[in-house]
Amino acid sequence: MSELILRSELLNSLVDGNIPSKDQAYQVYQDAEKEPLELYKVSQFLRSKSKGVTVTYSRKIFINLINLCRDTCSYCTYKSEPGQTKISMLSKKDISKLIEVGKKYNCTEALFVTGERPEQKYQEAREWLGENGFSSTAEYLSHASEMALKGGLFPHTNAGNLTKDEMRELKKTNVSMGLMLENASERLVERGMAHQFAPSKNPRARIKTLENAGELKIPMTTGLLVGIGESPFELIDSIYAIKEIHDKYQNIQEVILQNFHPKQDTPMKDNPSPQEKYFKTLVALTRIILPDMNIQIPPNLSPKSYSSFLTAGINDWGGISPITHDYVNPEFPWPQIEDVKKNCFDAGFNLQARFPVYPEFFSHVNSDLREKMLEIADSENLVSEEYIR
């Protein structure tokens, strides 16, 4: 039997609902290196089968709570050091102002982002937290989340490897949470690699946190960072690591594929971004391995071509803010939501706003938070169009 027929039979089996083995996924990738169009067709079909023609996004404010961080990643400019002008340690008053502006612009998500346990490394963070009445960043996050809820926004926290008790507490006020796996390969924490000086990025620690969230039934966003020195097969292994967690706990609500961009003043400033064909192929592979998953790419990181990723099987653009920066990638502004809507329409899709938690995970959210969302939800548990107009 010819190689072409074997390849066609494998892709056809995926259309029929079969999930590829890891070895089969390796083979699909190797075939797609030469010609990816057949893979894209299958990933589009699977996306359409499970998600239809709706593409979603979350209308958010980005609250950069504390950007001191105990880790040092070789590609990161989010982290600040004491004394630098870009340092962010937001007071309650600062947070209140952001919440008021977010409500004015009909945002529904308050995205809280912090560095990894800054109080463990920096005396400045410990003192600042103490002056504001808190013993830890996690404790402050719980308070800030309560403020967001009272202000009419729904919190989603991304604060690194939280403990199970910390996540249990945050679940009271957060409708979902996030933790990027980035990659499941421990090779990336070795000497000279991207995560050498970032102990919290050890995949065992990240996977354990995601498993704890699963036991707590917290809807979790996770994902991979593409282009930080990994091999394509390590990325495929990482997709399967996420699949294994989701198969066990059914709480992974979304997988983000984020393309690396080099930043000045970092050790990886001369590393190239991944080629678009390679990136799209990994996006499509994610769809065939996780056919029912919500799969996102950040549109601001592919500003000239993000709508073309609809042909690779994505169904979500993540959080887009009409008012605040992407503090992790400040050199890439958010696209205008109306422009995203038009690009989706031109490609045959409908853009709709969602909450930080996807409709199919509403049952994971405690009843008080769920009732608040239902007040402004439509019949599909997406955000009512009347609310965001």
- What domains are there in the chain, each with its CATH number? 45-388 (3.20.20.70)
According to the model, what pLDDT value does residue 7 have?
Answer: 62
User: Cα(184)–Cα(188) distance, rounded to whole angstroms?
Assistant: 9
Rounded to 5 degrees, what are φ and ψ at 309?
-75, -10
Among 78, 155, 140, 79, smallest CA distance to 319 is for: 155
Q: How far apart are CA 49 and CA 291, in angstroms?
A: 9
Contacts of 216 (CB under 8 A, 6+ apart): 164, 167, 168, 171
DSSP H or E run through 258? strand 252-259
Residue 142: the pLDDT is 98
Average pLDDT, the chain: 95
How many residues make up the chain in this entry?
Answer: 389
pTM for the predicted model, two decimal places: 0.95
Positive or negative, the CA dihedral 198, 202, 208, 213 is positive
User: Which regions of the chain are under pLDDT 70?
Assistant: 1-7
Residue entry with tokens 């000045």: 264
Q: State how far the Cα of 297 lies from the Cα of 309, in Å rounded to an integer.
A: 8
CA angle 125, 110, 360 (to 5 degrees): 125
What CA–CA distance (Å, rounded) separates 19 from 216? Answer: 27
**DSSP line for 319-386:** EE-SSS--SSSTTSPPPPHHHHHHHHHHTT-EEEEE-SS-GGGGGGS-HHHHHHHHTTB-TTSSBPHH
Best CA proximity match to 143, nearest among 164, 116, 112? 112
> In the prediction, which pLDDT does 2 show?
39
Q: Which two three-digit tokens encode residue 353?
A: 């706003």
The answer to whether 351 and 57 are in contact (CB under 8 A) is yes
Residue 323 class from Cβ within 10 Å (0-12 exposed, 13-18 middle, 19+ buried)?
middle
pLDDT score recorded for residue 11: 85
